[in-house]
Amino acid sequence: MEPSKDYLFKYKGFYFSLETSPEYLDSLEDFEIKDSDIFIATYPKSGTVWTQNILSLIIHEGHRNGTENMETLDRIPWLEYNIKNAAYANLPSPRVFATHLPYYLVPRDLRNKRARVIYVTRNPKDVMVSYYHFSKFICTLEEVPDFNIFMERFLAGKVLASSWLDHVEGWYSHAEDFNILFLTYEEMKKDLRSAVLKICNFLGKKLSEEELDSVVRQATFENMRKDPRANYENLPENLAEKNKGSFLRKGTVGDWKNTMTVAQNERFDKVLTEKMKTLPIKFTWDINNM
């Protein structure tokens, strides 16, 4: 079954929500990149907001010490959803953008190794379950109450951002075109401090031990959940149904086991897990294996 046109449209083989337009997406090819720009690229539900918050904490002292109160969406705008693009030019350097774009739709200069990209992946069963819950909460996504139907759509790539495998495979197999750091959600979960250090090294940013401690403390699930900016609590009502969930939901590894049946897991493995074997990533499916 095709996704409803009330929610998604296809542009160059990739599903977008109606908050953007083909004309705007066309314009991104020529988007003016600064060498200092940083792009967080992800498939949805892989840890985007988490990485956005980590970068805000690393880069902006005022975010870290609480002297500035800026919404995450203003601090790190969404590249392909032209909500506030008039303000892009005025963002302080380094500018940071978030994107779910596949590798082949990003601005040309990014593909010429200008600017930095941080690409975060997460095991796709947890991605899918997170996505399922998120669809209930975000008004611009179609709510699919039956998990079985949602899973079939996910496996067929008939959801916003299309196929998980194509997204991840595309970015990994074109890594050489980019100045890119790959991270996984699970490694961030296992050792947040090391992940923050990896990001600092990639950015060439030196933090003191105290600053580092402060970033790590404020980027834990529990502390981010308490922070309305980090939890995206100030989204407009036409975007999120707050009584139906929150951005920071469970934040664990292996939550898929609480939703997927044995049969669904077998079906998933048959369709996707086999194809994943060619990916150069070792996925962690269970918190006990970390």
CB of residue 162 vs ligand A3P: minimum separation in angstroms? Answer: 15
Least distance between ligand A3P and beta carbon 224 (Å): 4
Contact call for residue 267 and ligand A3P (CB under 6 A): no
Would you call 63 a catalytic residue per the annotation? no
Q: Name which of 106, 149, 116 is nearest 12 in CA terms.
A: 106
- By beta-carbon proximity to ligand A3P, the closer residue of 169 and 187 is 187
Site string for ligand A3P, 139-178 (x = CB under 6 A): ----------------------------------------
| Cα–Cα distance list, 119 to 168, 179, 225 (Å) | 9, 11, 23
Q: Which helix (H) or strand (E) holds 202?
A: helix 192-203
Q: What does the chain come to in residues?
A: 290
Report, in Å, the least distance between residue 121 CB and ligand A3P: 11
Q: Which among 5-13, 83-91, 249-257, 266-274 is the span making contact with ligand A3P, rule CB under 6 A?
A: 249-257
Q: Which helix H or strand E contains 117, and what residues bound it?
A: strand 116-121
| Catalytic residue selected from 100, 133, 167, 174 | 100
Region from 80-88, 143-151, 205-213, 218-226 binding ligand A3P, contact rule CB under 6 A:
218-226
Distances (CA, A) of 75 to 110, 128, 224: 20, 27, 16
In b/e form, how buried is each residue of 241-256, taking b as 16+ CB within 10 angstroms? eeeeeebbbebebbbb
In the three-class reduction of DSSP (H, G, I as helix; E, B as strand; rest coil), residue 171 is classed as helix
Residues that bind ligand A3P (CB under 6 A): 42, 44-50, 126, 130, 133, 189, 219-221, 224, 248-251, 255
**Active-site positions?**
100
